[in-house]
Amino acid sequence: MTALPESELTLAEFLREKGFTTLASMALPQFVPEISGLQQGFDMYRVPGVLGDSLRRADRVEMVAREDWMAALAKPNPVFAWFQTVDGLRPGLDPSPNVMKRVKVRLAELQSQIPGLAPHVEIVDRGPDEFEEVRRAILRSRGSQSHQAFLNGVLEGQLMDLDGVLAECLHALERAGRMGEAAIAVLSTQGPLPEERMAMGGPNFPNSVIRTPFWIWSPGRVSAGTDPRLISSRHVPGLLAEVLGQSFGGQMPGAPVVDLWDAALSRRALVGLHLHLEENSAAGWLGFDEEDRAVTRSAGLQGDRLAEWEMLQEASTGEVTRFGYELAFDCPDPVTVRWNLVEGRVREVAIEPAAAGVLGRKTPMAGSVDLRGQGVLRLVTYAREAPVVWQVEGAAPDTDGPETPVLHAVR
């Protein structure tokens, strides 16, 4: 994910100029303004903290801007609101009550066929620790009927959580008497099917994620029916503006839309798991050579997807930008710097000059280094959207330790 350039006119900026109150509620800390640039045009832009409780829960479909949303609806101005949600249940995240409930139901359905599931069914909804115990046990039989039932239960619980947030938004509109004038768009950038999405950092784009569901509702403005055109989330701003009787953006649905660099793909990215994947719907296979040049293959692509791939091929000859953190230090006394990635993985760590530090134990997610003197510590990640928690030990109170790490492009 590359930061949105300030020169890019956003729908939020466009509508704010027309008197709208604008707000955004993001689900992940990596969408802070300094990384994403997505705050442009929003009067209120809310992001959870890196160490916030929301990061520990599977139901990260919460409304971070709940109070702002209620306050905005109470005023006479028209309101433009963007609510971003995440359905990820990764190891170590606490499951929501809905997730635990649905997993219990799914496993119970198989209990008569697989008696060994009985202990798991009994404890899986008792709490996060018991749920994690069951998850690890079932993971040993990956691909089995019980494992698939577990995954289905997780997905169903997450959908229930998402339904709850959507219902909260709609109820607020009803209470404010604004349902009759509302235009609502709901879309998913990860597809409707509980299929394997992709290996972390891998090049493959499953069909369940490259064709994203899109639903728009506005009484009196949008007729019931299905639009056969190839539409991605890139078209949402223009379509919403059109529904509101406005004209915004020149890229209208119906034509293939792919631009490799606009889509923020890099070897270090997790291939757009959040905002930009749908812009690359043609890339049936995408990888990078040893010199970071994009390599694409068109095998199995037809029609619009083949046309998009050909456009992608033309745009994929430039250098890929790597992303990472840079920690400048001036330490008369030795200090130890530890880091831990909240999400994502570390690709490489470098100390310049090399004599200014000693690298300690390192894993893809965490590590440490002993620093002394002056220099720069560089931490290159696979994705720009990889929030890092830093800890400095040993800096004397009367001396300056490392400065606050600054995210930047690394060549």
The DSSP line for 236-267 is HHHHHHHHTT----S--TTS----TTTTT--T
CB atoms within 10 A of CB 92: 9
Per-range mean pLDDT, top range of 163-177, 205-219, 257-271, 338-352: 163-177
By the 8 A CB rule, do 219 and 307 touch?
no
Of the CA atoms within 13 Å of residue 158, those in its CB half-sphere come to 23
Among 38-47, 50-59, 359-368, which stretch is predicted with the lowest mean pLDDT? 50-59
Give the model's pLDDT for residue 282.
34
Give the model's pLDDT for residue 229.
59
Q: Residue range 384-389: average pLDDT? A: 64
Amino acid at 133: E
Separation CA 356–CA 123 (nearest Å): 52
What does the domain layout of the chain look like in residue ranges?
A: 322-410
Separation CA 102–CA 150 (nearest Å): 9
* Res. 105 pLDDT band, cuts 50 70 90: very high
Separation CA 373–CA 327 (nearest Å): 13
Strand partners, 337: 369, 392
Per-range mean pLDDT, top range of 168-177, 223-232, 249-258, 377-386: 168-177
DSSP code of residue 88: -
Q: What percent of the chain has pLDDT over 70?
A: 59
394: its two tokens: 């040993």
Q: Is 103 exposed, middle or buried (0-12, 13-18, 19+ CB in 10 A)?
A: buried
pLDDT tens by residue, 275-322: 222 223 333 334 444 444 444 455 555 665 565 556 555 544 444 445
Q: Residue range 336-350: average pLDDT? A: 76
By the 8 A CB rule, do 130 and 123 touch?
yes
Residues 6+ apart with CB under 8 A from 253: 227, 229, 230, 231, 235, 238, 239
CB atoms within 10 A of CB 391: 10
By the 8 A CB rule, do 116 and 147 touch?
no
Phi, psi (degrees; rounded to nearest 5) at 344: 90, -175
DSSP code of residue 351: E
Give the model's pLDDT for residue 60.
53
First-last CA distance in the chain: 16
pLDDT at 230 over 80: no
Separation CA 68–CA 149 (nearest Å): 39
* Res. 65 pLDDT band, cuts 50 70 90: confident
Number of H helices, E strands in the chain: 10, 13
Residues 6+ apart with CB under 8 A from 226: none
Separation CA 157–CA 134 (nearest Å): 16
Asked if omega into 353 is within 30° of 0 (cis), the reply is: yes
Separation CA 86–CA 72 (nearest Å): 24
Give the model's pLDDT for residue 183.
84
pLDDT at 197 over 60: no
By the 8 A CB rule, do 88 and 189 touch?
no
Q: Residue range 357-376: average pLDDT? A: 83
Q: Residue range 240-257: average pLDDT? A: 62
Give the model's pLDDT for residue 284.
36
Give the model's pLDDT for residue 124.
93
The residue with greater pLDDT, 359 or 324, is 359
375: its two tokens: 């220099």
Give the model's pLDDT for residue 121.
92
The residue with greater pLDDT, 400 or 68, is 68
Fold annotation for 322-410: Immunoglobulin-like (2.60.40)
Of the CA atoms within 13 Å of residue 3, those in its CB half-sphere come to 15
pLDDT at 259 over 60: no
CB atoms within 10 A of CB 305: 21
Task: Please give the mean pLDDT across all residues of the chain.
Answer: 69
pLDDT at 396 over 70: no
Separation in Å, CA 378 to CA 261, 358, 410: 24, 13, 9
Give the model's pLDDT for residue 81.
92
Give residue for tokens 């959040």: 274
